[in-house]
Amino acid sequence: MDGFGTIKLLASIKVLCYFQPVFQRDFKWAGQAHFFFADVFSMDYTDLLKRVENVVSPILESLGLELIEREFLMDQGRWVLRLYIDREAVPVTIDDCQTASRIIEAALDVEDLVPGRYALEVSSPGLNRPLRRPKDFERYVGQKVEIKANQGIEGQHNFIGILKGLQGGCVVIEGDVKESRIPLDDIKKARIKYEFK
């Protein structure tokens, strides 16, 4: 199956912009003929993503890369398995995304993890990078972040503030009014909230 690389361009109103390397493979059928789209809708995505991570992480490590985040979602009428990858020393390039995508696709085909038809997309995190692992919340102390929680705190589920780090299993952020401590295992999504200046 042929793939193609794309570069997404995001720009602020001040025409300050950056490039985010992305490599996407065309739609493919995963698994055998007895899988149908109904299987996709009824799947436990949490379990699926954990199994994908178990397969993908060692591959990326062998390439000097790391898995930042993984998503399986419906995007513009199609199912997409989206993987965000990174490297601490040197920024991720489109070649990195393409190489990783080719190897990961072959491995996922062998493991037969994802039912139905889907597109594999491998991308750098970009400026609004996802935060998921404990070390992410330690590495980006001082950055403005946006967090969505499952249970939340006193009815609040959305938080925006300056990341202060991890303390006792909680992510600490300093908001405009007060400090909030969100349990790490209660965080649904978190990302850096980059603001162009």
**What is the extent of the structural domain holding 167?**
134-192
Query: What pLDDT was estimated at residue 195?
Result: 79
pLDDT tens per residue across span 27-48:
444 333 233 333 444 456 888 9
Q: Which two tokens stand for residue 63?
A: 């390439």
Write down which residue in 73, 89, 123 finishes a domain: 123
pLDDT tens per residue across span 141-169:
999 999 999 998 888 999 999 999 999 99
In angstroms, how far is the first alpha carbon of the chain from the final one? 42
Write down which residue in 95, 123, 151 finishes a domain: 123
* Residue 52 maps to a domain: yes
Q: Which two tokens stand for residue 164?
A: 């202060």
Q: Which two tokens stand for residue 188?
A: 């649904």
* Residue 128 maps to a domain: no
DSSP state, residue 31 = S
* Residue 129 maps to a domain: no
Query: What pLDDT was estimated at residue 183?
Result: 96
Q: Which two tokens stand for residue 88?
A: 């601490």
Query: What pLDDT was estimated at residue 53?
Result: 96
Domain tally for the chain?
A: 2
Question: Among all chains, which residue has been given the structure tokens 């935060």?
Answer: 131
**CATH number of domain containing 146:** 2.30.30.100
* Residue 179 maps to a domain: yes
Phi, psi of 188 (to 5 degrees): -85, -50
* Residue 76 maps to a domain: yes
Query: What pLDDT was estimated at residue 116?
Result: 79
Note the pTM of the prediction, 2 decimals. 0.74
* Residue 102 maps to a domain: yes
Is residue 143 domain-shared with residue 187, that is, in the same domain?
A: yes
Dist CA 164 CA 143 (whole Å): 8
Average pLDDT over residues 121-134: 92
On the 0-12 / 13-18 / 19+ scale of CB atoms within 10 A, 67 is buried
